[in-house]
Chains A and B, each alone.
Chain A
Amino acid sequence: MNAQRLAGIAVEREARARRQRSDARLRRRRRMDGLARRSMSLLTLGVVLLVPLIAGALLVRAWPVLSAVPLHELLLGTTWHPLKGIFGFRPFIAGTAWVTTVAMALAVPPSLLTAIYLSEYAPQRLRAVVNPLVDLLAGIPSVVYGVWGMLAVVPFVGEHVAPALDHWLGALPFFRSDNPTGYGILSGSVVLAIMVFPILIAVAQDVIRAVPQGLREASLALGATRWQTVRRVVLRRAWAGVVAAVVLAFSRAFGETMAVLMVVGNVPQVPRSLFDAAYPLTALIANNYGEMMSIPLYDAALLAGALILLLMVLAFNLAARTILVRLVRSE
């Protein structure tokens, strides 16, 4: 009788202890979960704040030159003479704009046509060979593109393309050539264009392939040719993604330093022709970081250059995104 009761109490006690243990364990697991959530959340906050942080740090360090020289002189001035304290960024901003624009003009049409060909026309077997190759090439470092540019593009542009275009189109504003070296905007743009081919092709293909097959079949069943289907159905559906791919490639080309630096000539002038030498912002910073601490205001000016670069790429990215969102919504 007594023993039975005692046994019952023991069992109950045991059960309670087990419950408490498992409660404690659950609490501990929950606490770990909450801790992980909070620390991860903090980390993501860091990511969100990183761009403002970079911009802020650059702004602080660039402040000496920003406060000493009026902003319009800094952005629009065409003279760059650090020893005299004259910092006009116009040649460099223009250089960056020229090289990137021409590169995108050269890169986008052929890459899109290639992407359309690979996703809509090419047989599966060809795709299976080409796409891994494209992925592989996307990883090739930009400095290698630069080496190739110096070996192949610069001489070719200098000896053949520039004289020919100067001869035939020299009367037009952008084609006059008085730079026989080949180091200039066109060479830089060609190198950049080839550098962004793989990104453009890979992303555009993904986007195009995501268009539902049923849409294509409906169009083809109505008697449209393949190209008509591509142009009126597939591209209409996929173009927001295609634009996003172009933005991605643009960012890459815009911020590229080494490949451009090696072939673009690096002359601080506002370029007026495709064949002029230019001096993009990235090249300016990379070429002069070594002596920037020895000349007053020079370091502030170069960091201001980095700030301008950052703000340009931010503005472009956000503008493209806003337009995209609005257009996608209105469709």
Chain B
Amino acid sequence: MGRRKAKVEEGIFRVLMIISAVSVLGSLVLILGTVVWRGLPALNLDMLTQTPKGGYYLGKEGGILNAIVGSLYLAGGGTLLALLASLPIALYLQIYAPRTRRAEIIRLALDVLWGVPSIVYGAFGFLIMLALGMRASLLGGIIALAFLELPIMARGMDEAIAMVPQALKEASYALGATRLETALRVIIRQTLPGLLTAVLLALGRGIGDAASVLFTAGYTDRLPDSLLSPAASLPLAVFFQLGTPFPAVQERAYASALVLTAIILVLSLTARRLTRRLTKHVIR
């Protein structure tokens, strides 16, 4: 009797699991499908190569080049800034303070930062800008995005570096290298694929985030020409175009969403390919 009950339970849960897997993965694929299906018809070369002309938001000519360029600048700058902070933090955690209470506290802080909503980073960035007397600008957006990306990147790198075999570090120390030299010449080379994955993950998160740049980067129809001029971004372009009452403009919002998704997919595939290529240099 107990055996039969167990068999029935097994069967029920197996069916439940397959149903869940199919519906979960199905819904995710459905999203990709919907974006492609609705976005593709509205997509054309003008959208990718022109900035909005007068009356663009009423359905007249133009494109979203401002948002594409703005997003790349914003996320690129934010990622660079976050990288400058994350790499030393991750190296510190693994090389200078491994298995200490201090490292645990820093990790806890990073995990907490990971959970801080991006709109809070946006508000914080906005306050920094107020304090410095800046207006909505590329630089402001870059700062807010750097805060958002920092915990993602630092934790990713931390985990990548944790994979380095202890023996490799010890071999380097035994040759007389200091910890800094070990970090720069051995650890970084050894973990390059993992570090790169962390960077691209954070970059993807940065490109897709709207709430943190809403306050800080502003929005403009022109291409940003300096760090202090406002910058448009793709997520906000999607949002604003969708908010207009004109179907033709809404169609362009779908196309913009498709462009954004395509950028993310390209990034993700690049990460995969680069990881595979760089793994060649890793000592096992």
Contacts and interface: CB of A to CB of B under 8 A. Distances in A.
Contact of A144 (B24, B183, B257): B257
Given A148-B35, A228-B6, A286-B214, A47 B91 contact: no
A147 interface: yes
Nearest to A200: B24
B119 A48 contact: no
**Which of A139, A148, A247, A255 has the most chain B CB atoms inside 10 A of its CB?**
A139
B109 A48 contact: yes
A288 to B, nearest CB: 11
A303 to B, nearest CB: 6
9 closest A-B pairs (Cβ-Cβ)? A255-B117, A141-B208, A251-B115, A257-B211, A110-B20, A117-B17, A40-B92, A113-B20, A33-B178
A225 B9 contact: yes
A140 interface: yes
Given A30-B178, A137-B28, A306-B120, A147 B150 contact: no
A61 interface: yes
Interface in B105-120: 105-106, 108-120
Given A148-B31, A289-B126, 5 more contacts: A54-B124, A142-B210, A143-B210, A151-B254, A306-B119
Nearest to B106: A44
Contacts of B28: 133-134, 137, 194, 197-198
B117 A309 contact: yes
Interface residues of B, number: 85
Contacts of B6: 224-225, 227-228
A139 B201 contact: yes
B18 to A, nearest CB: 7
Interface string A132-168: 1111110111111111101110000000000000000
A207 interface: no
Interface string A30-47: 101100110111011011
B34 A197 contact: no
Contacts of A251: 114-115
- Chief secondary structure at chain B's binding surface: helix
- Chief secondary structure at chain A's binding surface: helix
Interface in B267-284: 267-268, 272
Interface residues of A, number: 83
A236 interface: no
Given A114-B24, A306-B119, A47 B178 contact: no
A274 interface: no
Interface stretch (A12-20, A73-81, A84-92, A310-318): A310-318
B96 A37 contact: yes
A201 to B, nearest CB: 7
A57 interface: yes
Contacts, number: 244
29 contacts: A32-B178, A36-B183, A44-B102, A47-B85, A47-B113, A48-B109, A54-B121, A117-B17, A136-B265, A137-B31, A139-B204, A139-B264, A143-B238, A143-B239, A144-B257, A197-B27, A198-B28, A225-B7, A227-B9, A254-B117, A256-B117, A258-B211, A302-B123, A306-B119, A306-B123, A309-B117, A309-B120, A313-B116, A317-B115
Contact of B35 (A61, A122, A130, A147): A147
B58 interface: no
A29 interface: yes
B14 interface: yes
A111 B120 CA distance: 28
B89 interface: yes
Contacts of A65: none
Contacts of B89: 40, 43-44, 47
B18 A117 contact: yes
B20 A109 contact: yes
